[in-house]
Chains A and B, each alone.
Chain A
Amino acid sequence: MKDMQDGYTTADGRKIGGVVMEMKNITLRFGGVVAIKDISFDIREGEIRAIIGPNGAGKSSMLNVISGFYVPSEGEVWYRGEKRPQLSPYKVAQQGIARTFQNIALFEGMSVLDNVMTGRLGHMKSGLFAQALWKGKAEAEEVVNREVAEKVIDFLEIQHIRKTPVGRLPYGLKKRVELARALAAEPKLLLLDEPMAGMNVEEKEDMSRFILDVNDEFGTTIALIEHDMGVVMDLSDRVVVMDYGKKIGDGTPDEVRNNQQVIDAYLGVSND
């Protein structure tokens, strides 16, 4: 495991910076059910960090803790050198964190463009009244926001469905639109909840490409949860492995792949 204070350089020559987010001894309980048990790990600037594990391992709960949606029962979340207090979701968004959902959460009746524009909400400063009249600052703001949205649309190659209502799109494209909305927020940290779930091989390849490009092009730090081991190992710089709410491995894909506990968990050796 790499734990140099000032980051490291990946095999393909990308510079990974210092720690952006640190999870310190996180425990999460729902009543008597313990979803996460005493987990600690960090996410570094510019890296692609994956959280993997079998079904019910607590991955999504972990992501929800990172995104601020769940407040850990014990432990601390440190973001950019500060301990993060309990925050409402929009405040988290203002901190530069955006996410996608495992079960797509888009506005089905709205066009792709409008959906992507909602990702810009956090960047709109003008008041409701000014926006309704579309005068002065609101107009100038909308132009800027539209420009960002269009750049994202161009980046994810969804120009042809710009005006299509999301409800009419196939699953794979909806996933991409969701990513577009998250990107439109120009996040510093992007959280992806099973970005490839339910996709065919080709769609997975496309999505992987986009994730790598986002990281490469915008320097966005990415934390993702994924089921598909092959994809995770190819994409990520470091991997956290969870099982039954516990962390059983942490390191580069190669280190994790050769970790006996991880192998056992994935092959289903009894675990107590």
Chain B
Amino acid sequence: MAQTQSGAEGLLSLPALLHRNATQFANSPAYREKEFGIWQCWSWAEAEKEIEALALGMINLGVNKGDFIAVIGRNRPTLYWSMVAAQSVGAIPVPLYQDANAEEMAYVLSHCGARFVVVTDQEQVDKVIEVQDQLHQFEHLIYLDPRGLRKYDHSQLHQYSHVQDQGRAARDEFMPELEARRGELDYDSTCVMLYTSGTTGKPKGVVLSNRNVIESAKNACEFDNLRLDDEILAYLPMAWVGDFIFSIGQAYWTGFCVNCPESAETMMTDLREIGPSYYFAPPRVFETQLTNVMIRMEDAGKLKQRMFHHFMDHAKKVGPDILDGKPVGFMDRMKYTLGDLLVYGPLKDTLGFGKVRVGYTAGEAIGPEIFEFYRSLGINLKQLYGQTEATVFITVQPDGEVRADTVGIPAPDVEIKIADNGEIFYRSPGTFVEYYKNPESTADTKDPEGWVATGDAGFFEETSGHLRIIDRAKDVGKMVDGGMFAPKFVENKLKFYPDILEAVLFGNGKDRCVAFINIDLTAVGNWAERNNIAYASYQELAGHPKVLASIGEHVSAVNKSVAEDSMLSGCQVHRFVVLHKELDADDGEMTRTRKVRRRIVEEKFADIIAALYDGSEEISTTTEVTYEDGRKGAISATLSIGDADVVPVAVQKVAAE
């Protein structure tokens, strides 16, 4: 560790890396943003000047060392500069989710005691002003887009460009101060504070040091051979740790270019225009794109359709192997090359993946078929497993060892151990410093030796040495016969069917498992339309016998695949019910990030669960619902219960671990 103590090549902070880039890669593009229909570009040298002007302006406004500066808005170079400018003056940037409502914003802003807030436009300004009475430390707001703000009281409001102008004007006066503050930054000073989305309780402020960010970025860049000429598209929320690492940490380490889309709506067009070589997206994005491709192929001519399916079948057969560098027959290779010319190449181009060298997905499980589709096209899509607390990287899949059901091997410099209950612990240079103003939670999560509890349960596959995540550790339980109960494992398998939106498995402490299913209204509605099935409501469609039958088939198929897993074969779904309402965040059944709150669902629908276990054919129930405007109502329904085929498992052979 002696070497890292002194910092990687003596570069101890992001402002220091910025200066290196501005010197070494002065004319390489650092940022691009599409504005007024054209990609505007800033080189590293220009970016440094912009950031310096803003930093001087911040000193001019009275930013002190150790102040928190909140940054709110969509991905824009100016906001990335604000974060680095904040670091340059010894302040701590705190990016917030731009779609957070005013109360959520108030909590975070008052928790960190932000004195300054940098925002994009009027919408965000309004939110901050709405809650500013609750913010005792808040003093100044800097905005980018003056539109609609002319009439606002400007005693606390400052336009971004004016702050920069004032900084430039006072350059001589404040430059020594800025240099002194930049010089004080070391490997242990705080780089950024990121709030976790908080599935349980209030969001927690994760403090990451320069060491965390730079070491993690450096390791990951080396792992994937990222280079100066790589391109990324910055479109994921700036408050998310991934964006901070990709668009700032790794970009500053290697000097590659960060491209910001024109607006959220133009993301797909901009993606195509940029053609990133390093790309990240949650599974949902890949899923939507695949669906779009399939729908558009339906509308294509017969010849195109046949060509598409013919070559896609071939790609499925040999594509992943070619990508992994495994031996593939000469004729198959030739055919794949032809397919690349006719189908794969143009398709990748349309999707904007023509140049992707390294692609990642993470956050939740990705459907194996979706994953294989992209890989068979020759896109090097991989999975990683990470957390805010780990500065993203815990495990990653190396090139050539990519599978849909594992999350890879420990990332460089990351140590992992599995506790007796299956929970995964890690220790790495990226391990977070602390939760801000929350020593209890810090102590609960991180032990004195630096091991951090992930809260996830998993195991290393003996054959490959890859980590497999089973579920959240607190959700993993035991069946009566001692077999392991891991609901997420089965639920994910169910959710990979397009017509199943959500599934909840029960069975902890019982002798067999049962499940709740939510249908996907878009997919099932589409199917109903094509099959001339009329329906008036979600409830009616969900209760349709044909829907039940097809869901039943899916459940049976999932059981078959679950039975093949020696550890979890006991989790097969014996009986299931298709719920009459969608699980909803407004009813508290889910979090805002669409994660099921098991306990609440279990309590709320206790009568249905009881019916699933007592063998009844159907159950009448009434459920309270909350409408978007806060009014409450009730819906009642009689749900029929489906039985699924279960594969008999010889003996529950898993011994208690």
Binding site for B on A (CB under 8 A): 12-14, 113, 146-147, 150-151, 153-155, 157, 159-160, 162, 209, 212-213, 216-217
Please count the residue pairs between chain A and chain B whose beta carbons lie under 8 angstroms apart in the complex. Answer: 37
A160-B263, A160-B265, A160-B269 known; A154-B151 Cβ under 8 A: no
Contact A154 B148 (CB under 8 A): no
**CB-contact partner of A153 in B37, B151, B265, under 8 A:** B37
C-alpha spacing A147/B38, complex, angstroms: 10
Contact A162 B151 (CB under 8 A): no
A-B contact pairs, 6 of them (CB 8 A): A153-B36, A154-B36, A155-B147, A160-B263, A160-B266, A217-B147
Contact A213 B147 (CB under 8 A): yes
4 more contacts with CB within 8 A, not counting A150-B37, A154-B36, A157-B263, are: A12-B151, A155-B147, A159-B262, A216-B150
A147-B36, A151-B36, A154-B36 known; A159-B147 Cβ under 8 A: no
Q: Which residues on A sit within 8 Å (CB–CB) of B269?
A: 160
Does B553 sit at the interface, judged by CB under 8 A?
no
As a 0/1 sequence over residues 142 to 153 of chain B, the CB contacts with chain A under 8 angstroms (1 = contact) are 000001101100
C-alpha spacing A14/B269, complex, angstroms: 39
Contact B265 A159 (CB under 8 A): yes
Q: Which residues on A sit within 8 Å (CB–CB) of B263?
A: 157, 159-160
Q: Which residues on B sit within 8 Å (CB–CB) of A162?
A: 37
Contact B36 A216 (CB under 8 A): no
C-alpha spacing A171/B407, complex, angstroms: 47
Minimum CB–CB distance from A154 to chain B (whole Å) comes to 6
Contact A14 B151 (CB under 8 A): yes
- Please, which residue of chain B has its CB at the minimum distance from the CB of A163? B269
Which 9 A-B pairs rank lowest in CB-CB distance, beginning with the nearest? A160-B265, A150-B36, A150-B37, A160-B266, A159-B262, A159-B266, A159-B263, A213-B148, A154-B36
Minimum CB–CB distance from B512 to chain A (whole Å) comes to 49
Q: Which residues on A sit within 8 Å (CB–CB) of B265?
A: 159-160
Does B35 sit at the interface, judged by CB under 8 A?
yes
Q: Which residues on A sit within 8 Å (CB–CB) of B38?
A: 150
C-alpha spacing A100/B634, complex, angstroms: 47
Q: Which residues on B sit within 8 Å (CB–CB) of A157?
A: 263
- Please, which residue of chain A has its CB at the minimum distance from the CB of B146? A217
**CB-contact partner of A216 in B37, B148, B262, B266, under 8 A:** B148
Between A12, A159, A212, the greatest number of chain B beta carbons within 10 A of the residue's beta carbon is seen for A159
Minimum CB–CB distance from B229 to chain A (whole Å) comes to 27
Minimum CB–CB distance from A183 to chain B (whole Å) comes to 14
C-alpha spacing A155/B35, complex, angstroms: 11
Q: Which chain B residues numbered 12 to 57 have a C-beta less than 8 Å away from chain A?
A: 35-38
C-alpha spacing A157/B264, complex, angstroms: 11
**CB-contact partner of B151 in A146, A155, A216, under 8 A:** A216
Minimum CB–CB distance from B84 to chain A (whole Å) comes to 26
Q: Which chain B residues numbered 252 to 287 have a C-beta less than 8 Å away from chain A?
A: 262-263, 265-266, 269
C-alpha spacing A106/B37, complex, angstroms: 21
Q: Which residues on A sit within 8 Å (CB–CB) of B262?
A: 159-160
C-alpha spacing A147/B35, complex, angstroms: 10
- Please, which residue of chain A has its CB at the minimum distance from the CB of B34? A159
Q: Which residues on B sit within 8 Å (CB–CB) of A216?
A: 148, 150-151
C-alpha spacing A154/B262, complex, angstroms: 9
- Please, which residue of chain B has its CB at the minimum distance from the CB of A158? B265
Q: Which residues on B sit within 8 Å (CB–CB) of A153?
A: 36-37
